[in-house]
A = this chain, B = another copy of it.
């Protein structure tokens, strides 16, 4: 019985990993239950034995991914360190995470925009306003010096995130549109460079801000 339960978990995990990979690659609509089963090395019956339906399996995959993403983000921005250091740390960490899951951004963005309910429950549980207020409180002096008001915070936050996330969402577009621009041929090294570029770009913009 004890061993059986352990096997249980292993299988569940195999399924979870397979589903994550397939959903992330193909999206919900184009993913096939058979393919997920194959990828997990089990058969379709067992897939439905563990997760009653495609929707249920999808949610089981999607929501933790989503939460993990945000928790990571929030944890960095909640740190009590100077703003400049925080920006550097954010780009270093977030870009590294995404380099390991390059298809995650386009997957999450697309699925949310086609099924907003999926994330509603998560969204409501996120301490978004607390984050904004915390950031604003921690960095009050710096932000004030740069002329950033509370009203500017959403613009600033979206801006910071854009620089890291957009290139992943636009990866294949870049690959094709900019394929003839030599410097971008290798996406990985482009993103490595981008860590420092983005950080210094944001800091420079803030330091030289006109209201």
Q: Which of A's residues lie within 8 Å of B, judged by CB?
A: 26-27, 29-30, 70, 103, 106, 108-110, 112-114, 116, 119-120, 122-123, 126, 128-129, 132, 151-155, 158-159, 161-163, 165-167, 169-181, 183-184, 190, 193-194, 197-198, 200-202, 204-210
Contacts and interface: CB of A to CB of B under 8 A. Distances in A.
Contacts of A173: 108-109, 112-113, 119
B198 A209 contact: no
A19 to B, nearest CB: 17
Given A116-B176, A162-B166, 4 more contacts: A128-B180, A152-B197, A153-B183, A204-B204
A177 B126 contact: yes
Nearest to A106: B113
Contacts of A204: 204-210
Contacts of A178: 128, 154
Nearest to A116: B172
Nearest to A180: B129
Contact of A166 (B110, B132, B155, B169): B169
Contacts of A27: 27, 29, 110, 114
Contact of A154 (B29, B109, B123, B183): B183
Given A27-B110, A129-B180, A183-B151, A116 B175 contact: yes
Nearest to A206: B204
A186 to B, nearest CB: 11
Contacts of A153: 181, 183
Contacts of A207: 204, 208
Which of the listed residues A103, A109, A207 has the most CB atoms from chain B within 10 Å of its own CB? A109
Contacts of A190: 154-155
Contacts of A116: 172, 175-176
Contacts of A122: 176
Nearest to A167: B158
B128 A177 contact: yes
A105 to B, nearest CB: 9
A165 B29 CA distance: 24
